[in-house]
Amino acid sequence: MRRPRRLVVVLVAVALIAAALSGVKALRVVSRSGQATAARYSTATVIRGTLEVTVGGTGTLAPRVRQDVVSSSGGTVESVAVKAGDTVEKGQVLLRLSNDSLADQVALARLELRLAEIDLEEATGPRESLATEADIAAARAAVEGARVAFEQARRNVEDLSARAPFTGTVSDISVRPGDTVPPGAQLFNVFTPDALRAVLFVPENLLDEIALGDELTVNVPAISRNLDGRVTAISAQGTSGQGGVTFSVTVTLEDSDPDARGGMTASAALEVDSSWPGLTTRVTGYLAYDRFQTVTTATGGSVVAVRVSEGEEVEADQVIVVLENDEAEAALARAEADLLKAEQALAELLDPGPPPMTRTQIERVRLRYEQAALQLAALERQLAELTVTAELDGTVTDVFVVPGETVTPGQRLVSVADLSEVTAVITVDELEVTGLDPGRPATVRIDAFPDESFSGQVESVSLEGVPRDGVTSYEARIRLPGDPRMRAGMSVSATIVVARRENVLLVPVEAVYGAGREAVVHVLVDGAPVAREVTAGLSNSIFTEIVDGLEEGEVVVTGSLEVDAGPFGSGQPRHPGGGG
């Protein structure tokens, strides 16, 4: 069931409205029998004022900046220095872990570094090859394995620069500079806004009435448009549901509309039986972009930069998000060193060369030394991370562990959020999303504080809708100043101004028949109602804007309170806005 649109009107002359709406006129009307009868009408005066139209939605509060600390190497919780609700500063110790195994690995890495240092010092010793065919085969296999590992590590580093897979428009950017994202996290979507298709679900008994190449007109209720298209695909496999078996039919649209969005409800009329022209039934489905892809990160890391804005057009292979991952870069260096080491080992087996080492060989020994140094640095970094500190000034929102608990790599430890600014994340019906743009003023109410309201501004609106129970909704994010009482997850409702008219003529909606240039009102002229054609503009549940046809101060009829064979009917009270 769709939510009704909420409307608000702000008028300049409040006292004038009260007087206008309370007006009641008593008229004498001559009936067909020649007897005078009285009719009483509710009236209103045409006034000038300001009209606003708003849309609303509900959702929850979320912090704009958040640090979710996870364990990188696992261990045992030694101490927890904070609790939920504590205010912390950047660099403050939150908790400490211990990991004896990691400490042993650091000690071993230090030994490996020393051995590499010795190898570098002895790089000029004589060499002799006693390699067998089995040794050479094993060395070749080692080179191939090292090359595969190097290519994977190189792809992981390249993945730190997330690029557009094709030319299109960017939407749903889900990260910001400073965020830490895990492997597999969604970064953004890319789609082709000017290329849409409709996917319709056709019952099996109607499948014979449609064929590839057929022309169909697709209706999109959310934008009140009919879009022409042609059937380009019919699924070979049906899907069984409560309504029976249906087949997916793809209609490629030949024209488009800037307000059309993927996920919107769509429908088309099909002939029930070709032998009965004109006998049709309607099948439903949804709109989809021809090309739509969610870009994720295989490596994860810290977000360094987001180089485009929501809704911006991008070229294929354009860098959108830049990540930083020291471990991935260190892994690439190790993989490169391993490949060089394996290639050197194979080369030495195939051709031992002269006893003294060449410059290249000495360089390879040096690289092995640097590899050992990188491995030690990575382990020491993990050892330092056993002392968890705050990466930002903020408030502790959750502590997930207790002293003595054993944690595993990737387990959540503590969350810190900057609540100086928060975001109200609400859902908006597809019928209301048109005209809901970033920058619109919004008023937010939090269920926990029923007597207060908070002013904010629309920060972003999702370009991809989420269909549910036949209704598609879109996510809107409203930026709000923080408040110490606010908590992430609190339920909110928001009202957003989407249209506003100032200094315009206004009449109650009950006074107007029809809409646009075909609207009609009844004006009191010499005490009698006279129909007059007007041009109606913006409207809400209380007032309608009159663009042309009325003057300020004129009196219009909003309904009859008491009628005896009068001009509005046969003795029953009526209101023009009530469908008469």
Please give the angle made by the CA atoms of 303, 304 and 308, to the nearest 5 degrees. 90
Residue finishing a domain among 466, 499, 532: 499
Highest mean pLDDT among 11-25, 310-324, 360-374: 310-324
Q: Give whichever of 7-11, 22-26, 454-458 has the largest mean pLDDT.
A: 454-458
Into how many domains does the chain fold?
4
Q: Classify residue 526: in a domain, yes or no.
A: yes
- The answer to whether 556 and 522 have CB atoms below 8 angstroms apart is yes
Q: Are residues 477 and 560 in the same domain?
A: no
Do 460 and 523 lie in a common domain? no
**Rounded distance, CA 407 to CA 563, Å?**
81
Residue 43 lies in a domain: no
216 and 286 co-located in one domain: yes
Sorting pLDDT into bands at 50, 70 and 90, what band is 6? Answer: very low
Residue-wise pLDDT tens digits, 441-466: 999 999 999 999 999 999 999 998 89
Domain end (from 273, 290, 307): 290
Q: 383 to each of 72, 82, 92, 454, 531, how far by Cα in Å? A: 10, 21, 17, 45, 85
Q: Which of 96, 94, 180 shows the shortest CA–CA distance to 396?
A: 94
Distances (CA, A) of 541 to 12, 436, 508: 18, 19, 9
Whether 483 is covered by a domain: the verdict is: yes
Confidence bin at 129 (pLDDT 50/70/90) = low
Q: Are 428 and 498 in contact (CB under 8 A)?
A: no
Six token digits for residue 568: 């509005």
Residues 317 and 168 occupy one common structural domain: yes
Of 290, 314, 348, the residue at which a domain comes to its end is: 290
Domain interval for residue 169:
161-191+293-324
What is the Cα–Cα distance from 221 to 474, expressed in whole angstroms?
16
Q: At residue 376, what are phi and psi to the nearest 5 degrees?
A: -65, -40
**Which CATH number characterizes residue 569's domain?**
2.40.420.20
List own/partner pairs for 25-29 with CB under 8 A and 24 or more apart.
25/524, 25/527, 25/555, 25/557, 27/527, 27/528, 27/529, 27/566, 29/528, 29/564, 29/565, 29/566, 29/567
- Structure tokens of 347? 């080369």
List residues bridging with 506 in a β-sheet: 47, 545
Q: What is the pLDDT of residues 418-428, one digit of tens each?
A: 888 889 999 99
Do 527 and 449 belong to one domain?
Answer: no
Same domain for 570 and 527, yes or no, is yes
Are the C-beta atoms of residues 264 and 175 closer than 8 Å to each other?
no
Q: So what's the pLDDT on residue 352?
A: 63
573 C-beta neighbours (distance < 10 Å), count = 15
Q: Is residue 79 part of a domain?
A: no
Say whether pLDDT at 11 is over 60: no
CATH number, residue 475: 2.40.30.170
271 has pLDDT over 90: no
Q: Residue 464 class from Cβ within 10 Å (0-12 exposed, 13-18 middle, 19+ buried)? A: middle
Is position 514 within any domain?
yes
Kindly state whether residue 356 falls inside one of the protein's structural domains. no
**Strand-strand pairing, 75-80 and 406-407:** antiparallel
Tokens 């029998």 — which residue?
33
Question: What CA–CA distance (Å, rounded) separates 397 from 189?
Answer: 30
Tell me what pLDDT residue 235 has: 93
- Adjacent-strand bridge partners of 161: 322
Judge if 305 and 176 occupy the same domain. Answer: yes
Contacts of 211 (CB under 8 A, 6+ apart): 231, 234
- Token digits of residue 506: 């206004």
Which range, of 43-47, 63-67, 258-262, 301-305, averages the lowest pLDDT? 63-67
The reply to whether 273 and 202 lie within a common domain is yes
